[in-house]
Amino acid sequence: MPVYEYRCKQCGARFERRASVHEHEETKEPPCPQCGSGQTERVWSRVAVLAGGRQPSSTQGGGCGPACGPGCGNLA
């Protein structure tokens, strides 16, 4: 089951939300759990954004970002 990350445009809080395969096709964002605002947007995870097959240790919040190039020594 995929987990999507969202960011609140009001208070900047980030939160995750599990989505089923069916919800995957929907575009509605969940409300912010902190301020209740509906002004949230999905934040694409680094794993999803990365192209090229490499998978950084995103679960550990490493320093490897989307702008990471071949010179990055953060390979697992």
Pick between residue 34 and residue 55 the one whose CB is nearest to Zn ion.
Answer: 34
Q: How far is CA 52 from CA 5, 27, 49, 55, 62, in A?
A: 22, 26, 10, 9, 18
- 14, 35, 55, 75: which one binds Zn ion (CB under 5 A): 35
Cβ-based nearer residue to Zn ion, 9 or 54: 9
Identity of the residue, 14 or 24, whose beta carbon is nearer to Zn ion in the bound complex:
14
**Is the C-alpha dihedral spanning 19, 39, 68, 63 positive or negative?**
negative
Q: Is 75 in the site for Zn ion (CB under 5 A)?
A: no
10 contacts Zn ion (rule: CB under 5 A) = yes
Q: What is the DSSP string of 12-30?
A: --EEEEE--TTGGG--PPP
Tell whether residue 48 is a contact of Zn ion (CB under 5 A): no
